[in-house]
Amino acid sequence: MKIKKLHSWRVSTSEAKVLQQDLSQQLIFNFPFSIQNIKMIAAADVSFNRFSKFLYAAIVLIAFPTMELQSVHAGRFKANFPYIPGYLSFREAPPVLELFNKIESIPDVLLCDGQGVAHPRGLGLASHLGLFLDLPSIGCAKSVLVGEYEEPDMAKGNHTDLVYNGNIVGAALRTRTGVKPVYVSAGHKIDLSSAIEIVLKCSPKYRIPEPLRIAHEKVNEIRRNDIK
């Protein structure tokens, strides 16, 4: 895949903050095609011990809407940025982009285990990767980083706004009846309603969307095998 070179990853925290503020102004929230035309979804997950110098990253390509696994790309990488909440994309994005360098098939959408614009400076991992890859990207997190919301009704598909500084930055979405919601936010080149619809279509059985669930399994598998 062709990857843009927007900035160096060798930056200080203060430089990273300025980059987040600047890059957030480049985000686009228009989905370029209809959901019915999606054929392939990529999902990225990164696993690490915050005190370790190594990261484990995995990308899976999943057929849409069948959720059939097409390919897995994974590896171990050296961390070049410290573990600092709010700046995790500077730690996690480089290994994901390195894996994307090896992928020939261009997915239609990227799902990330992390935030899109639901971030203190509007640039979580999904947004950051979306800009580098020029792909529609969606953040789907298991917890809230910023913002407040009311609990959605318990039935699958219900959702409420996630609001931060008076702006809607995402949604608390019930992907399975009776379980905790996930927190969906637009990353890049997608609107929130389309992001919600895609996450729901990727969640036939479990709380975590199937592409992210598989990516999580694969990254932890290589992490366990490496530690043995």
Q: What is the pLDDT of residues 43-100, one digit of tens each?
A: 999 998 777 889 999 999 999 999 999 999 999 999 999 999 999 999 999 999 999 9
pLDDT band at 227 (very low <50, low <70, confident <90, very high): low
Helices (H) and strands (E) in the chain, counts: 5, 8
Spatial distance between the Cα atoms of 43 and 105, rounded to a whole number of angstroms? 13
Which token pair is 152?
């959605």
Spatial distance between the Cα atoms of 30 and 190, rounded to a whole number of angstroms? 5
Query: What are the contacts of 67-71 at 24+ separation with CB within 8 A?
Result: 67/202, 67/204, 67/210, 67/211, 69/214, 70/40, 70/105, 71/103, 71/105
Phi then psi dihedrals of residue 82, to 5 deg: -70, 165
Spatial distance between the Cα atoms of 36 and 147, rounded to a whole number of angstroms? 31
- Tokens 């991992």 — which residue? 125
Average pLDDT over residues 214-218: 96
SS3 26: helix
Residues in the chain, total:
228
Spatial distance between the Cα atoms of 48 and 97, rounded to a whole number of angstroms? 17
Q: Are strands 137-141 and 54-63 parallel, antiparallel or unpaired?
A: unpaired
Is the pTM for the entire model greater than 0.85? yes
Task: Write down all domains in the chain, each with its CATH number in brackets.
Answer: 13-145+184-227 (3.30.2170.10)
Model confidence at 116: pLDDT above 80: yes
Beta bridge partners of residue 190, listed in sequence order: none
